[in-house]
Amino acid sequence: MRRLLEMTGIAKSFGGVPVLTDVSLTLEAGEVLALLGANGAGKSTLVRILSGALQRDGGSIFLDGEPVAFDRPEDAIRAGLRLLPQEISVLPALSVAENIFMGDLPMARGRLLPRVDRTRMRAEARRLLTELGLEVDPDRLVGSLSAPERRIVEIARALAGHARVLVLDEPTAALTESEIRRLFRVIATLRAQSVGIIYISHYLDEVFAVSDSIAVLRDGRNAGRFATREASHEAVVLAMLGVRMEGLYPPVIGSSGEEICSVERLGLRGGQGELSFQIRAGEMLGMFGLIGSGIEMVGRALYGALGPIPGASMRLKGAPYRPIDPRTAQARGIGFVAAERKEEGIIPDLSLRENITLPFLSRYRDGLALSRERQRADVKHWIERLDIRTRSGEQPIRLLSGGNQQKACLARWLIGGMHLLILEEPTRGVDVGARREIYAALRTLVARGLGVLVISADAEEIAGLVDRVLVLARGRLAGEFAHGVTAAQLLDAASPAVGAA
């Protein structure tokens, strides 16, 4: 094998906060390197730098021993380096062959008008697809293909562009087990063709099944490199999670009261799975699962954001509960903090005060107009209680840091006097200091008798924070644990072995 890619001393920070510090990575031709790390470890930042989508602050990248600099993704692609993001990106209205050659259509020579050479394009497409083990008509529309077939078309497109390094980001998130095995066969083919592959996944079993070596990132630094054959699950998980930080999580008190909410037969993943559970007053229930397990739907279903859920039966404080939309959920005392803060949590141009008071504006009515004084008083109270760092409540919320925005998303429901609070990924993109404060605030709320449901793909957070954990895999309950469970046990319960039915 020869050294294909080398990254040394890579550094990157966003707004003064370091995201990557002195990160190094090497990849041989024909090697499958798994890149592992908890949420926020810096994996995606690293591969975005590699693919030219982001510019590094420091460090060097060598391809075949030559130093390279990619200003734009096009530069990286030209150099033979392709990032295939988690979301498959194909053009569904075009044919398989057109998708494969879109960047560089073969032209017919010696004609008056330039014209695409369809015969050659079809033949080339067929050859590439056969190598990858996919037998489809190159004229078929990509829209009619299944998810793994589209993925293979995407890989064929990369090979047609003479890619030598492929970065696959969570390539199995939307695939079934037999489809995953098919993808693994394609990866074996690529390896035989001396393509270097960086494989990003949360699924440890997949990583052990497909990779030659494993590189681990933690908090933006190298945290270990293993030869897959010699590594153990335990060693890799320890490298990913590190030693638990002291004092990040408040102590669990565990004195839950009566049932607040019960859910029966909630269909997940398009009916592939079904889930039943209860939440009690004064309880912090955690829900953990990997990407694609269905956890991302649970909170939204409960909050009415998915509309009425046929088949499911829910009760809230003993009375039947049929959420139609978020407003009905709010009226029954349910608050919700969405995972994607920028897209779903904040109105960027409105002020901190307006963002916090938005769901309960009618409470601030003074005749026809809103009373800004009463809004200010309430917002000031929560700014102090949650220690939101801002010049004033009148700052546009987009100017605040992620942690402070998240506190505002939480404060929104504290004004309302809710019974049940649902939080998705409560500390994604939030710095450690703000995380500690958010955890402490949640604990205080629970102690006051609120029910809290924390939905997170961060095993360490779930293990440290909550009273009770439900683990989901492929839309079904895969385990229930009390506080004291370790992150490694959660990851284990959430990863169904590849190949098992």
* Contact footprint for other proteins (CB under 8 A): 303, 305, 325-327, 330, 336, 338, 343-351, 354, 358-359, 361-362, 364-365, 368-370, 372, 376, 391-396, 412
Task: State how far the Cα of 33 lies from the Cα of 40, in Å rounded to an integer.
Answer: 19
**Is residue 164 a contact partner of residue 27, using CB atoms and an 8 Å limit?**
no
Taking the complex as a whole, the smallest distance from the CB of residue 383 to other proteins amounts, in Å, to 12
Q: Smaller CB distance to other proteins: residue 222 or 351?
A: 351
Closest approach of Cβ 310 to other proteins, in Å?
21
CB of 267 to other proteins, least distance (A): 21
Please say whether the beta carbons of 277 and 283 come within 8 A: no
Question: Which CB, 372 or 483, lies closer to other proteins?
Answer: 372
Q: Report in angstroms how near the CB of residue 334 gets to other proteins at its nearest.
A: 10
CB of 455 to other proteins, least distance (A): 14
Instruction: Give the CA diameter of the chain.
Output: 82
How many other C-beta atoms can be found within 10 angstroms of the C-beta atom of residue 104? 11
Of 422 and 463, nearer to other proteins (C-beta) is 422
Minimum CB separation of residue 14 from other proteins in Å reads: 15
Nearer to other proteins, 319 or 368 (CB): 368
In sequence order, what are the beta bridge partners of 82? Answer: 166
Could you tell me if 379 and 393 are in contact, meaning their C-beta atoms sit under 8 angstroms apart? yes
Cα 188 to the chain's mean position, in Å? 26
* Residue closer to other proteins, measured from CB, 145 or 418: 418
Cα gap 295→292, rounded to integer Å: 8
The DSSP output letter for 342 is I
Coil, helix or strand at residue 245: coil
| Nearest distance, CB of residue 262 and other proteins, angstroms | 23
Q: How far is the C-alpha of 106 from the C-alpha of 86, rounded, in Å?
A: 28
Comparison of 224 and 396: residue with beta carbon closer to other proteins: 396
How many CA atoms lie less than 13 Å away from 221 in the CB half-sphere?
A: 7
Please state the closest distance from residue 358 (CB atom) to other proteins, in A.
5
- Bridge partners (DSSP) of residue 279 are 261
CB of 466 to other proteins, least distance (A): 23
| Closer to other proteins by Cβ: residue 154 or 354 | 354
- The angle that helices 118-131 and 147-160 make with each other, rounded to 10 degrees, is 110
- Closest distance of CB 347 from other proteins, Å: 4
Q: How many residues does the chain have?
A: 501
Q: Half-sphere exposure of residue 319, counting CA atoms within 13 Å on the CB side?
A: 5
- Coil, strand, or helix at residue 425? coil
- Kindly tell me which of 13 and 24 has the beta carbon lying closer to other proteins: 13
Strand pairing report for 313-316 and 319-321? antiparallel
Question: Please, what is the minimum distance in Å from the beta carbon of residue 87 to other proteins?
Answer: 17
Q: Which is nearer to other proteins, 273 or 323 (CB)?
A: 323
Six-digit token string for 98: 């057109």
Q: Which is nearer to other proteins, 315 or 376 (CB)?
A: 376
The one-letter code for the residue type at 422 is I
Q: Which is nearer to other proteins, 20 or 334 (CB)?
A: 334
Cα torsion through 197, 147, 41, 7, rounded to 10: 20
Adjacency order of strands within the sheet including 476-482: 334-337, 420-424, 451-456, 284-288, 468-473, 476-482
Q: Least distance (Å) from other proteins to the CB of residue 484?
A: 33
Residue type for position 498: V
User: Exposed/middle/buried for 118, CB within 10 Å: 0-12, 13-18, 19+?
Assistant: middle
The Cα 269–Cα 294 span in angstroms is 6
Nearer residue to other proteins within complex by CB, 278 or 401: 401
356 φ, ψ (degrees, to nearest 5): -75, -40
* 437 in Cβ contact with 387 (< 8 Å): yes
The radius of gyration of the chain from alpha carbons, rounded to an integer in Å, stands at 25
